[in-house]
A and B are shown apart, each in its own frame.
Chain A
Amino acid sequence: MVSTKLYTAIYAVLFVSATVQVLVEFAGLSYWLAFGVIMVLSAAKAVLVAAYFQHLRFEPRSLTYLVGIGLVAALALTLAASYSLL
């Protein structure tokens, strides 16, 4: 499996990237550009946690798909509902 060292490195990356998210906010980018960068960072962190801390990378792929289905359902609801307002 994964060494404690790698876990520590991932933890450091997560820590830093959370900090970067706040810095991006104060960097004076346009709202939607900052929005994009921040959300991408969040997603990247989530993937790291799921892949290594929850060790989905080392499990049968079906578990990843399972979570993916939940995610798709949640996104479908959010996006379609928001779109219906426009």
Chain B
Amino acid sequence: MTDASPGGDAAADGGHEVARGGDDHDFPGTGSIKRWFVTTNHKDVGILYIVTSLFFLVLGGVLAWLMRIQLLAPRALGEGILAPVAYNQAVSAHGLLMVFWFLSPFAFGFANYVVPLQLGAKDLAFPRLNALSYWLYLFSGILFGVSFFQGGTFSGGWTMYAPLNVPTFTPDVGASTAVLALVLFVASVTVSSVNFLTTMHRMRAEGLTLRNVPLFSWTILLTAWMMLFAFAALLAALLVLSSDRLLGTTYFAMESPAGALLWTHLFWFFGHPEVYIVFFPALGVMAEVFQTFPGRRIVGRKWFILAMVLVAIQSFAVWMHHMFLTSINLQVKTLFMITTIGISLPFDLMVFALIYTMLKGKIRFTTPFLFVFGALLLFIIGGITGVFLGAVVLDYEFRGTYWVVAHFHYVMVGGVTALVGGLYYWFPKMTGRMYDEFLGKLHFAVYFVGFNLLYFPLFVAWETPRRVFDYAPELAPWHQLATVGGFVLGLSFLIMFYNLFKSAFVGDPAPDNPWEYATTAEWAVSSPPPLENFDGTPTYRDGHLEFIDDGEVAPSEERSGGPTGAAVSDGGVTASATRAVTADAELPTAEATEVEGPSHASIWPFVLSAGAFLVLLGLSPLQDAAFPEGMVGAAYATTAVAGGVVTLGSLVAMGLEPFHGPVFEEGEAWPFAGIDNGKVGMWIFLASDVVLFGGFLGAYVFTRVAFGWTGWEPIPSDPIPGLVNTYILLTSSFTVVLALVAAEKKHKWGLVTSLGATFVLGIGFLVNKGLEWQHLFHEGLWLSTNVRASTFFLTTGLHAAHVIAGLVVALYLTARAWRGAYLEDSRSVEYFGLYWHFVDIVWLFLFPLFYIL
């Protein structure tokens, strides 16, 4: 599916005020299987994320065990349990699965569950898009799983360096499928980022200014911002790579100027922010738990937040520290060494704030605290060893060794450690039951020992070359120790699974707030919270959380908080929580039936994701834009077409489905106060699309600089077809403007005509482009002719894909307008216009760059 669709939906989801009441979404209880396929509730989606991510943890873990067994002794080719290519696949798939399909989704499970509660929102801004994110994530993971069975999955490492990533070196169909699975995953992430950013900026309870937002939510906010931009750059990289693999363009081919370097730039521009994207939520858990169990508000809260904001910004300015051994010039290496040192400073501040908070409080050593405390220690070791790598001269030595492997496992799995703490921390809230404290502590002890037994020896044996199963024999004892540690660490999770699984059914019932001193809003509602989170409208107007009666609810009853006061925003306000209903003893109200109010069920996110899955699976065996010969090729092509039909059909169905998002009264909405959720979502999406095209144009400029700027002739010898297309697009932008004017004046036929004209002009644009391409093909130019032709066809092709996506929406809008829609509420037309004008703007740059200059 194209990246354009999520944004297109953003307008359709949640933004509409359909006639209230009377819709028949019967919403099954949590015990019903059906519930989990149709749910759009943030808490359900959160649980789905957590469970699914844990499944991928097990999968990635088993792959790691296979590697550790292979590494018990230095092996020659063909020795050990894994064949050489199988080993490479295990290494690559392990990295990809853990980073993408386990770590971030695990964190976003908590984000889904907890953030709306902490904000005082009843759900995310676009609940159906939230369900869509989940299903895209799940299906992308399944697609990755399928890749193992298509000759073998990708084997070029999680960094997917060029030119190993092109079919010349990784020819299996499965390798392409793995790349496409990542594309689908990025679609999920983009939808999710847009949703979270809109929600977190627009839907905070009255009085909950950003300053006062709890720290876990803060980390998620910053993570979502980083995801929005970083994953757009990754999408650019992946689409170019997919095109090289499937269509035959030659960006990353050996013979292209600086092709390998281009990949490292695109990948690490994403990759460095990515390491903070996986780490920040863990930091958020640490911050929450470090306040709850020592019973202290965090020291220097304002500075802590400021440091995180700085890190989030700086994370986009250090990427070349992963490229110290490439041919980039020395000045730029020095510059990035300095920025790398710079980024470690705010981290120091955060670490000290956490330590100080802990020292000033009176610690209670519960399981969540133990995990989070362990995580801090591990992170400190990982951070210090990272500073070594940030120094150019030292990195000349360490690059490509197990020092790097040990470093990033300390930081990343250190993050996992904190998130596991988060799982214990929020488990009572999610299930309404307590876990077994003894087993929790036992888990921690075994985990911590296993962790260090596994990763510390890797520092000692740092001279082992990375991703290779042969090493100096004298290092073998360290590797054997690590293998033992790997099994201890992995098996420690059995204790957790047993504990949590059993406790979810027979654990002691959990009160609203099982942790004395926990002060964030999720602890002020029942465990688990009711379907719509709060009985009444939450507000922080008077500096603490209160619930305003929605009317017929029972009269509110004042309750006093704990010893330090149950300050319900951790922003420094101390006060009591007021609750409308004190149903402590009552068990989940989650299944409470609701007659009216927001919808919670839609099957279309699931169907849409299944369709997208089929499309990508169907396209996976393409090479040089051709399906394989014979039955197999035909079967794949059919799959792709069927998937396309399902995708389109479910998009339309989703557009037509009456679905209303959460009702919300505008509270704090900085900096987007007064702008509709749908519009904010659309702009946030467009900002990511700016980076997507930025990545493509950046790739073009970079390649052209490497080639010699002025020696590079534009592909079309004649700029006139391009100029004609510029005229067409400008005119179509103008007709979209006229459409909106007509809609606002309630001129039905003016609206229909303008939208129809836009559609026709868009078709004209595509026809003209098709003719031009035809002409170029006849001249003997093809995508694979040279990198000049590749950049021309792919960049303008991506733009054309945006036009096509826009036309699908235009057609839909025209048909609805024909039947009288949009005269009362023209927002859908407006949001479509924003997208369409953006596509126009992109062309305003493509035209001169690819036709004239």
Q: Which of B724-742 contact A (CB under 8 A)?
A: 726-727, 730-731, 733-734, 736-738, 741
Cβ of B127 to closest chain A Cβ, rounded Å: 23
Contacts of B702 in A (CB 8 A): 78, 81-82, 85
Count the A-B residue pairs with Cβ separation under 8 angstroms: how many?
156
A74 B852 Cβ-Cβ under 8 A: no
A25 nearest in chain B by CB position: B852
A60 B229 Cβ-Cβ under 8 A: no
Cβ of A69 to closest chain B Cβ, rounded Å: 7
A74 B265 Cβ-Cβ under 8 A: no
A53 nearest in chain B by CB position: B837
Q: Which of B680-737 contact A (CB under 8 A)?
A: 680, 683-684, 686-691, 693-695, 697-698, 701-702, 705-706, 710, 719-720, 723, 726-727, 730-731, 733-734, 736-737
Question: Given A63-B675, A75-B694, is A49 in contact with B841 using a C-beta cutoff of 8 Å?
Answer: yes
How many residues of B sit at the interface, in one of the four size bands?
35 or more
Question: Given A53-B737, A59-B675, A67-B686, is A15 in contact with B730 using a C-beta cutoff of 8 Å?
Answer: yes
> Out of A46, A59, A62, A75, which one reaches B844, CB within 8 Å?
A46
B710 A84 Cβ-Cβ under 8 A: no
B233 nearest in chain A by CB position: A77
Contacts of B693 in A (CB 8 A): 74
B230 nearest in chain A by CB position: A73
Contacts of B266 in A (CB 8 A): 77
Contacts of B840 in A (CB 8 A): 49, 53
Q: Which of A49-72 contact B (CB under 8 A)?
A: 49-50, 53-54, 59-60, 62-63, 65-67, 69-71
B233 A69 Cβ-Cβ under 8 A: no
Contacts of B261 in A (CB 8 A): 84-85
Cβ of A49 to closest chain B Cβ, rounded Å: 5
Contacts of A76 in B (CB 8 A): 316-317
Cβ of A37 to closest chain B Cβ, rounded Å: 10
How many residues of A sit at the interface, in one of the four size bands?
35 or more
B323 nearest in chain A by CB position: A84
A67 B741 Cβ-Cβ under 8 A: no
Cβ of A7 to closest chain B Cβ, rounded Å: 5
A74 B694 Cβ-Cβ under 8 A: yes
A7 B734 Cβ-Cβ under 8 A: yes
Interface stretch of the complex, out of B635-643, B666-674, B781-789: B666-674
Q: Is B258 an interface residue (CB 8 A)?
A: yes
Contacts of B262 in A (CB 8 A): 81
Q: Which of B793-836 contact A (CB under 8 A)?
A: 833-834
Cβ of B252 to closest chain A Cβ, rounded Å: 14
Cβ of B325 to closest chain A Cβ, rounded Å: 13
A11 B730 Cβ-Cβ under 8 A: yes
> Out of A62, A65, A73, which one reaches B229, CB within 8 Å?
A73
A18 B730 Cβ-Cβ under 8 A: yes
Q: Is B853 an interface residue (CB 8 A)?
A: yes
Question: Given A11-B730, A70-B690, A77-B233, is A86 in contact with B738 using a C-beta cutoff of 8 Å?
Answer: no
**Residue from B269, B671, B694 having most chain A Cβ neighbours under 10 A:** B694
Contacts of B342 in A (CB 8 A): none
A70 B723 Cβ-Cβ under 8 A: no
Contacts of B691 in A (CB 8 A): 70, 73-74
A80 B320 Cβ-Cβ under 8 A: yes
Contacts of A82 in B (CB 8 A): 698, 701-702, 705
> Out of B671, B680, B720, B844, which one reaches A42, CB within 8 Å?
B844
B837 A54 Cβ-Cβ under 8 A: yes
Cβ of A34 to closest chain B Cβ, rounded Å: 8
**Residue from B233, B258, B840 having most chain A Cβ neighbours under 10 A:** B840
Contacts of A15 in B (CB 8 A): 727, 730
B726 nearest in chain A by CB position: A18
Contacts of A84 in B (CB 8 A): 261, 265, 320, 323, 328-329, 332
B700 nearest in chain A by CB position: A78
Q: Is B149 an interface residue (CB 8 A)?
A: no
Q: Is B847 an interface residue (CB 8 A)?
A: yes
Q: How far is the CA of A42 from the CA of B846 in the complex (A)?
A: 10
**Residue from B269, B332, B687, B710 having most chain A Cβ neighbours under 10 A:** B687
**Residue from A15, A50, A62 having most chain B Cβ neighbours under 10 A:** A62
Q: How far is the CA of A70 from the CA of B695 in the complex (A)?
A: 11
Q: How far is the CA of A31 from the CA of B713 in the complex (A)?
A: 12
Q: How far is the CA of A8 from the CA of B734 in the complex (A)?
A: 8
A66 B328 Cβ-Cβ under 8 A: no
Q: Is B848 an interface residue (CB 8 A)?
A: yes
Q: Is B838 an interface residue (CB 8 A)?
A: yes
Q: How far is the CA of A62 from the CA of B683 in the complex (A)?
A: 10
A42 B848 Cβ-Cβ under 8 A: yes
Q: How far is the CA of A77 from the CA of B686 in the complex (A)?
A: 18
> Out of B232, B672, B838, B844, which one reaches A54, CB within 8 Å?
B838
Question: Given A74-B698, A76-B317, A82-B705, is A67 in contact with B687 using a C-beta cutoff of 8 Å?
Answer: yes
Q: How far is the CA of A33 from the CA of B694 in the complex (A)?
A: 23
> Out of B329, B727, B853, which one reaches A18, CB within 8 Å?
B727
A-B contact pairs, 6 of them (CB 8 A): A18-B730, A50-B837, A60-B675, A70-B688, A73-B690, A81-B262
